[in-house]
Structure 1
Amino acid sequence: MFRPGWSVWWVVLALHKSVFGLEVSGNYNDEIICSQGLSLLTVIDVSFPIPENEAVEVQKLTPYFRLCCKHKAACTLCLVVDAELYVHMDKDMEGEGSGPDEDDSAEASVTLCYKTPSTLPTCKKVEFMVNEAAFPLQKMSMLITEPRDVFFSSHVIVFSSQSLNLTQQVVAPSLNEVCTQEEEHVEECQNVPTLSHVVYQESSWVELHFTGRNKSLVSLCIQNEQSGTCQTWNRRTIPLSSVTPCMCLQVWDKDRSSRRLSICPFKNEGTAVNVSFSKLIQGNVWHNVSVSVGYGRMNNHGPMLGWNLSAPCRLEGDVWPCHQEHSCRELQGYRQQLENSTWTQNSKGLWETKGVFEDINLQLSPCVMVHVKGMGHDLGPFCLHHTVRWRWSLLLVAVMLLFCFTVLVVYFPNDFLKSAKSCFQGRFMKIIRKGHVVLLSPPDADDGLSESICQLGSLLRNQGFSVSVDQSSRKQQCTLGPLPWLHSQLMELDSLGGRVVLVLTQRASARTVEWTHEHPLVTGLSQMKSPYSDMFTACLCIIQAEKQLGRAGERFVLVKFDPSPLGDRSLPELLQGLPLFQLPSQNQALLSELTVRGTGPGLRGRRWGVSDAWKTKTAARPVQQKASTISVI
């Protein structure tokens, strides 16, 4: 807004006018005002802090702002600092006068600084000559035009580097204050849009007009009363139902000026011109008054009735408790005035106030009445006992249902129990029978296959199964090891019941054939290469053990995502006889298979048949795992 820099001007004693504490000066020179006992030598910018001469003591600082205006030029913001100095003539001065006219003068200096809360100090050192015959108390006034990092509405701290405890704070006037009187001479006051409006009661909206400005550059916000939060409004019309007498608007040109035009156009509208519109917008306030009540206890355990009122505008009126009989009769001595309450604004922009009625008899189920100034009738009653009655009604309905249930059991025991048993077996057992599913991937799964496996896992979860997918359990596998993780999943199948779903590909089938040739069904498995090097080969070993027991088809299910059909005879010999489903065309058949045969008496209370084979093998030679896994026993 301003170019940083310093200019020191002679302050003209005759001031033209005073606006909001701002003195507007006319012609000025680059000088400082000093009292007669001081003669100016030089004024320089210095860094802070600097050493000071003890011969001069700053006793008082008085900062204030002026609007400095040159003839036929724009006005600028100036900071003026008046200082009272005490000169200790008995102290050593920095230098003595050498000329014939300077025998009775000595050199001294003083440094004045200013800063804003977010900037570093800016200091000015004034060096001058002191007449030893002058009075010790001297005055000096420094005027600074366009002070660095100081703008309209800025908070400025002024102090002397000699004494940091001597500080004064001053606030620059706001741009709106300045522009009220000096809009023609202050550049920042220009380019502010003007606002007018037209009411269309038939269409139920108010249209806003911005004169002399491009509508695309105008910004607008709406607030309830000038002290309320201003909420951005991006339209040029306002619904008539939202307009209230306390609605205010702020308008500014976001590209050309930071000054905002703040007006409350509906505050006095309609008083003499359009009475119907005035009643309409006042009714918008009354229709949006909301009151809530509640019971409570005070710190001394006494009863109290609390109330909360919200409205678009702060209201004047009364609030009182009453006892509702045929009409709500006021309880005397409790009336409170709304204008004496504390109003706060909530997140919706409504004004809220609250209060309590202490030591009130809650057994009377008191209500609250509200009178708003200007309304022809009172609001209320607002009661809490309706909620209490509603809760008692729910309790009564629950008792009636329990009574009906008892009658059905007592008088119709056989038919009722048969129906309940049929309902339980026909509906709820379907949910209970859905057990655990372990979804295992082939070792050659690519990105496309992995995505299909994840979708299958989501489908099973949505159908009520608990699902463990090896690809989404990598963290557990790194902690436990792949084979212990698989063993833990099989243990969970023992307790919950369920199936192992093995995803099959062409390469997985070929690998199954190779594994079968390397590991024929003979004894002495410990003499061969461990089949538990990964979960896929471990799964093949478990299938082999289960086929020897004749129950592999009850424990394992094969699924295939490849488009080419794969019959049972084309499967490796080890996998033949297991249920095979082509997905996604046979999704429903797979769900039926897992639901019907997911659990059963033969699957609960028994260990997987491979456990004995694992114990025999590990007794002969323990299985060695990599550093990230542990041995399986």
Structure 2
Amino acid sequence: MAGRGSPWRWQEQEMQAVGFGLLLLLLPLPRAGLRAPPDSVSCSQGLSCRVLEADGLCSPGVVVLASGPVLVPTQMRMESVPHCTAASDCSLCVQVELQLAVLGPQEEVAGEGIRDGPGMDALQHRDNGPLLSSVLLLVQTYPSSRCVAIRVQLPRALAQPNRTVGSMWFHCFEAVLRGELHVTSYTSPRYRAVLSQTHRVPDCSWPAARAAIRLCQVPRLQISVGPEHVVVQLQDVPTGQNFTVWFYWNQTRGPKGLRTERGPQNYSLPSAQLLPCLCLQVWPDIPDHPRISRCPFTQDPVAWSRLWAQAQLKVHLTEGRLSCSVSAPCPVPAVLVPCWRLKRAGPCHELPHLRQALTLPSLHEFGTLQPHPNLCVQVWSGGRVQLMQCLQEGAKRVQPANLLLMETRDPQGNSLLCAMERGTCVPLASSTCLGVGVGALEQQLRQDVQSGHCLEVWRAEGSVVGTGWACSLEKYLRARWALAWMGGLLSAFCILLLLLLKKENLKGWLKILKEDYSSGGALRGRRALILYSPDHAGFERLVSTLACALTRLQLAVSVELWSRAELCAIGPMQWFHAQRLRVLQEGGTVVLLFSRGAVARCTEWLLWKQGQMLPRDDPYSAFSASLNCILPDFLAGKAGGRYLVACFEDLLRPADLPELFHSVPIFTLPSQLPTFLLALAGTAAGREQKSSLKKHSLWIGDSLQRAIRECQLQEPAGHCPA
């Protein structure tokens, strides 16, 4: 009595469909086994299937209307699997999986085409027999074809219209390595469109093929790298099998062959040919056999070092346009970086937004750059500079610049200037790398840019990159020196005039000058290098006070604070080595002036262990750069007579210094200032000179005490404690 629209009947059908769907999900799919018999078929639970004909003739024909529910394939998937008759005798074949669904009765309506017809429930009620379907698989390969007929059966109780009821697997169609199969599937008679799919068979690089197929089993390569030769040995060579080995360079324009070897199992190559792109192909002496390629040196650091030693970078200047080319025996992942170098031995700072990816072989042009002697081009790869060349010959005959400016525009169209330092643009008022007050020169520099006295380095391009200007500060420096000389002469004239007006005090002035000269005699000709950690501006003012006082005693003092221009030009490590070498060669002393920041940096270096990351310090601090050289001297016991250690007693206790530095004299300033000055004077100081140094230690100590109080008042707690 339940009709098509009966709620109970549709609820029962939905429950059966849901249960059957869960059953299909829980059932394990048949694994692509290696021992399944050929031309076999298997189905998921609920379906039964068997092969009717393994090699016949078939034709899809035309689509006909289904008068009742029928089984049809809806989806097809193919997979390459090894087919083995024995453990070591396998071939390659393709397994086909079909998903089957029930197609209900159909009818053709004029103007609408074919659609599902009514009466599915009535047909299902009248006929309780199983659904039978003949599924055809047609495989086509070059130059043959084959058709397989399969009978599939489904109990009518499990039939649900337009729903997937299970899967069928056919095992399997024979295939060849690197071949191609075109498979079509449909039913006879055909009720739906033909399923069609093309499958590409893998080659011997497929892991399953290397493990199971004899033709893909090639020897292992054992590579030994010596100082002059690279030895390649074939291991696990099958008995009675001969192989060919081809050595080649895998280059951008295709492989470049080096040599081909046959017969022996050991081969030797010169070490000069060991490059990252050196590859090998191995194949047995069988016609049309697939080849196995290996490139074992792609991650070898020695091979990369040899490649960069053979690579060349050339900077060209053609008709006023700057370009460069790179030649290398292998393709390299690298970028070209234009940079700006102030001095010949100094660092080269990257110019912003001008990087280019390196492609080989090709000519790279920098259309926005104008030739200038300070311009260079670097090749970056692996996080470091591999090649660099500067534009020396062919550049414009202009004076090298010591300041690089970038001009940009704000949204209102106003011109903005900033100084390029270490790859970033710094406001002129904050630029200190040149050792002069660049902020005070901003107006003059703007006038030079507008009047054309500065040379254009690159042109404006878009809103990100401004215009680069190379300017020289020589004229400003000369003007400042001239003013300084005039001021000094005027001051000397005023002093002499006062002395003449006060003749009664002339003898006292001469006596003071004589004492200054005699006291300075003990330190004249002596040299000292003061190393300190620039923790903050207050501590640097304190260091400057001490250095100025020692300079008045005619001691030649080298300190980072007074050498910022040179330090920025050549780098902190080069500056430290040059100063230390000069001081020690002239019998001078290296003074380690400790603060809390210096103690922290030394402690990090002393606690560093092999394999850990190096402490991260300011890359522009001479103290951080000097630790690589100073600490080994102390560890090796070579610090005596060459180093002195000092600290300001109100800022740091001697007990807080690392134990390593107690091997040399430690002076607390200003209380031990007299003995500190005598240590700087050395053993050649006489009695009168020592007495005069002790007198001068009084006014030096007062200056240091005032500077320490200023540091304690201005700096926050923890930097200059009370």
TM-score range normalised by the length of the shorter chain:
0.3 to 0.5
- Taking structure 1 as the reference length, the TM-score comes to 0.42
| TM-score, with length taken from structure 2 | 0.38
